[in-house]
A and B are shown apart, each in its own frame.
Chain A
Amino acid sequence: MEFLIILVVAAIAQFFLPWWTIALVPFIVCMWLSRSGWKAFFLSFAALCIVWAAFAWYLHDQTNGAMSDRISQIFFLPNGLAMVGVAGLVGGLVAGFAGVAGYHLRAMFVRKDELVYRR
């Protein structure tokens, strides 16, 4: 559930809000819905990894790597596809850690069984 919400909300919100929306959205959603820290991390990671990598790949593919292939060389990577991987990884990590933080922040104030109940 939180996976889908994070994915959809983050994917849309970033058209209007700054890049760190990818931290804000999983932070809030996980604070609200997550049952465990591990889950918060992996679901957030997966959601934003997919969003960033998929959008990056789309732009890369649309332009035949016109810009991404060049930038990849600045980062000592072989091609723009590798850059797509980097985007997925960075997006995923930021979201993952933000999700964990959201979960733990709430866990601080709420008993474990209450968390489970709400879910």
Chain B
Amino acid sequence: MKIVKAFLSLIIAAGLVYALSRPWGPVPALGPFISPYTGFWQNGEVLHSDDTTLVELSLDSLREEVAIRYDDIGVPHIFAKNNYDLYYAQGYVTARDRLWQMDLQTRAAAGRLSEVLGPATLEMDRRNRRLGLGYGAEANLKVIMSHPQSREAMVAYAAGVNEYIRQLAPKDYPVEFKLLGYAPEPWGPIKSMLMLEQMTQTLAGGADDLRMTNILKRYGQAVVDDLFPNYPVFQESPIIPEGTPWDFKPLPLPAAPKPDAPIDSSIIVDKSLVSEPPVEGLGSNNWAIGAEKSVTGYPILANDPHLELTLPSIWYQVQLSGPDVNVYGVSLPGIPSVIIGFNKNVAWGVTNVDADVMDLYEVKFRDTTRAAYWHDNQWKETRKREEVIRVKGQADVREEVVYTHHGPVAFYKGEYHKGPTMAVKWIGHEPGNSFLTFHSLNRASNYDDYRQALTHYVGPAQNFVFADNSKNIAITVNGKFPLKWKQQGKFLLDGSNPAHDWKGWIPMEQNPHVKNPPRGFVSSANQSSVDPTYPYYINWRQAPSERGVRINERLQTMTQATGDSLRLLQNDNFNVLARNILPTLLTYVKAVSLNSAQKAAVKLLEQWDYQNEPTSVAASIFEEWHPTLADAIWKDEFTSDTLFMRYPTRDRTLYMLLNQPDAPWFDNVKTPARETIRDVVAGSFKAAMDTLTIHHGPMGTKWQWALVKDTEIRHLTRMLKPFNTLPIRNGGGGSIVNATSKHHGPSWRMVVELGPEPKAYGIYPGGQSGNPGSPYYLNLLDTWEKGELKELVYLQSPDQSHPRLTSKVVMKKN
């Protein structure tokens, strides 16, 4: 009996300890997680508002003393006596606030998510391995480590991150590590490169080559030329103003081969393997007004990059002050230096360039060993890269990625899809030192420094807007752009034909740019970089024009502007698309019979001032309606269960609606009747009304745009709802200057008034800390939601007194 009791009680106790010591599916090991000594309880933080708080840290491998002042929103202002210490400290403080984010984002790029998340992310990991993000990161690392300044920054930053990690006991790990049950691993410069690859993938990692090829095969060249033109036909306001002279002697373009796509391939891709080109909402605005338009007598610059809105924010504010630099702005956690910001003399910002820098090449292997592929009438050897994907709770998965001179083979015939075997040629594999561009911009003091800094840049291509206190403004469509024949890469390319290879690059100094244009401002909103007179081919389509059109028409009339005028423009909710198309659409709707709710909606739309205000019901109706209309026009011809295609651009659709009312495309080929433009417009209007009614009840206050749009900012895991924000109630929309949609929007808003002393303002939705238990996790959200900005505290010295400064950290050499 005694033995039984002893045995049973031991089993129960040991079993309980064991069960609480191991994870169960997505549930972390509950013992250490719930323990107040080691668990999530330890991750709650309190606000330190006391400005006498002084923390002294003794750190290894620091060279001299570093002073860090924190301000009331949690921004570190780092003062170092040499650049090594500066980036060391940046690595340290960034890791302190964002360690898990840094781990996750570089893990995703490296194709190593399954290591910590299990088989659910295996396909994603495999895709990134095949896309060669790690290969690209390694290629970039070689270049970056061979340059003394970039090397110093990378090595110092890594040392700082690692010093922070080294100090952590398991109880100190960010709560996400505790939830997922793994520990932070050491940082290294390769991870900074992976972070850059991740940005390149987000911003320049999409291609619609396959969709376009399918359309070409189904409908022929004439339809492609008509419906998919290489420049907007209805409306455009290009980034480099029309009429800007191209004062250079262009290189000759490579001759377009005939045919310009493989003829023998039968492309039928029934599933998208390639990321789509950036969705609307993944774009940005920036502009600068010249001294003559501002009340200050100096230029004013504004930038708001639109990305997926996440918690923590993709950006991290920091001030970096060292022997040759004093810069403030936002950094990307994982990369030393400031990416968007200002210093005493200059300010700069970026928006994405929709350049075609990812092309697919059909390749043929000699045999199943994939040791050789056909190119230039001979078999050429491939190179192979063994990728080992570790999977939590499972055996390792080995993936042999085959490289041709084009790039890695990402897709195999017969695997997932019915398309051909394809290699990817991508700017993300091109070695370079894009980091040095930012390192140099941080230290720039004039226009020449800015132009010089840009020469190092490879990708993802950005529109770099610039202003300085010598009253220059400028914008450069900047990146390494392949020298292409017109339309090269619009369709699948022939990987065996050397004429289809990329043939060099557009010389950097010939990248589109303009300095101090007569109109007194420069701007970009991802729209067409240039008008068709530019001698080179960049892409057949770039982002829709509406934001650019609106920004340019407002800047055109702007005088006596202040920083606040530009802030108001960042929050502009005017719907250019509605102004362009709504009056015409309503004439068709009013020609059919409507029920009373539909009549009331028409009346609302007629009275609408085209503002996507949070309370506007008309905005909701229009925003629901126009994609429904696009479906009604194109879905019958340009979607298919077997053939992967895309719709013509919005610009081309608008042109047809306004100028080609008898176009055959309005007919729904799936019905025996012959539909007219009126049927399609009115039918889609009624369908949109029905959709809104189903989701939001009868037309009323629940149809207000903020409620229908329902913007939500999610934690990076996308599944831990308690770490998300509550629903956001603001205006805007995908094609609006205030580009806030469901999950995307202005991830950072900045306005800089240049002058003898710069005055700058900025905000992002979230806060400096990535810790959901920190008072700095969401402290900036309300200000962002209201469309306001915070003044950015730009210090000149570590001892300067400022009412908004709080605690101070002094790092001392150990």
Contact = CB atoms under 8 A, between A and B. Distances in A.
Interface string A51-72: 0100110111011011110110
A91 B36 CA distance: 10
A30 to B, nearest CB: 10
A1 interface: no
B44 A67 contact: yes
A93 B721 CA distance: 30
A5 interface: no
Contacts of B723: 70
Contacts of A90: 20, 30-31, 34
Interface stretch (B6-14, B341-349, B454-462): B6-14
B32 interface: yes
A117 interface: no
B33 to A, nearest CB: 9
Interface string B409-453: 000000000000000000000000000000000000000000000
A90 B39 CA distance: 13
A58 B32 CA distance: 18
A28 B773 CA distance: 36
A90 B31 CA distance: 8
Contacts of A19: 20-21, 31-32, 35, 37-38
A35 to B, nearest CB: 15
A94 B20 contact: yes
B535 interface: no
B6 A105 contact: yes
A27 B6 CA distance: 12
Contacts of B38: 18-19
B44 A68 contact: yes
A61 B118 CA distance: 35
Contact of B6 (A22, A63, A97, A104): A104
B31 A67 contact: no
Contacts of A104: 2, 5-6, 9-10
A91 B35 contact: yes
A100 to B, nearest CB: 4
Given A67-B772, A74-B720, A60 B2 contact: no
B745 to A, nearest CB: 23
Contacts of B36: 52, 55-56, 58-59, 87
A66 B6 contact: no
A115 to B, nearest CB: 12
Contacts of A93: 16
B722 interface: yes
Contacts of A20: 17, 21, 31
Given A62-B46, A73-B722, A97-B13, A55 B37 contact: yes
A71 B773 CA distance: 10
A98 interface: yes
B497 interface: no
Nearest to B175: A67
A6 interface: no
Interface in B22-75: 30-32, 34-38, 40-46
Given A107-B6, A108-B3, A70 B772 contact: yes
B798 interface: no
Contacts of A91: 34-35
A67 B38 CA distance: 14
A70 B775 CA distance: 13
Contacts of B771: 67
Task: Classify the secondary structure of B's interface with A.
Answer: helix
Nearest to A97: B13
Contacts of A62: 44, 46
A90 to B, nearest CB: 5
B244 interface: no
A101 interface: yes
A86 B34 CA distance: 8
A94 B16 contact: yes
Given A37-B5, A107-B5, A67 B40 contact: yes
Interface string A4-36: 000000000011001110110001000000000
A101 B41 contact: no
B774 interface: yes
Given A98-B13, A101-B9, A71 B37 contact: no
Contacts of B34: 52, 86-87, 90-91
Interface in A35-56: 37, 52, 55-56
A94 B31 contact: yes
B44 A107 contact: no
Contacts of A94: 13, 16-17, 20, 31
B21 to A, nearest CB: 7
A14 B16 contact: no
Contacts of B722: 70-71, 73-74
A101 B44 contact: no
B13 A67 contact: no
Contact of A63 (B14, B21, B35, B773): B773
A63 B5 contact: no
B90 to A, nearest CB: 26
A97 B773 contact: no
Nearest to B19: A94
A70 B771 CA distance: 11
Nearest to A112: B2
Nearest to B777: A66
B35 A66 contact: no
A96 to B, nearest CB: 9
A18 B2 contact: no
Given A74-B722, A94-B17, A101-B13, A59 B41 contact: yes
A103 B2 CA distance: 11
A7 to B, nearest CB: 14
Contacts of A74: 720, 722
Contacts of A68: 40-41, 44, 773
B41 A56 contact: yes
B37 A15 contact: yes
B648 to A, nearest CB: 45
A94 B29 CA distance: 14
A88 B143 CA distance: 56
Contacts of B31: 19-20, 90, 94
B179 to A, nearest CB: 8
A52 B35 contact: yes
A63 B13 contact: no
Nearest to B773: A67
Nearest to A65: B44
Interface in A71-95: 71, 73-74, 86-87, 90-91, 93-94
14 contacts: A14-B35, A18-B32, A23-B17, A37-B5, A52-B34, A55-B36, A56-B36, A59-B36, A66-B45, A68-B44, A70-B773, A71-B175, A98-B17, A101-B12
Given A97-B9, A100-B12, 6 more contacts: A19-B38, A55-B36, A58-B36, A63-B773, A90-B20, A100-B13
Interface of A: 14-15, 18-20, 22-23, 27, 37, 52, 55-56, 58-60, 62-63, 65-68, 70-71, 73-74, 86-87, 90-91, 93-94, 97-98, 100-101, 103-105, 107-108
7 residue pairs, one from A and one from B, having the closest CB atoms: A67-B773, A63-B44, A73-B722, A55-B36, A104-B6, A67-B44, A56-B36
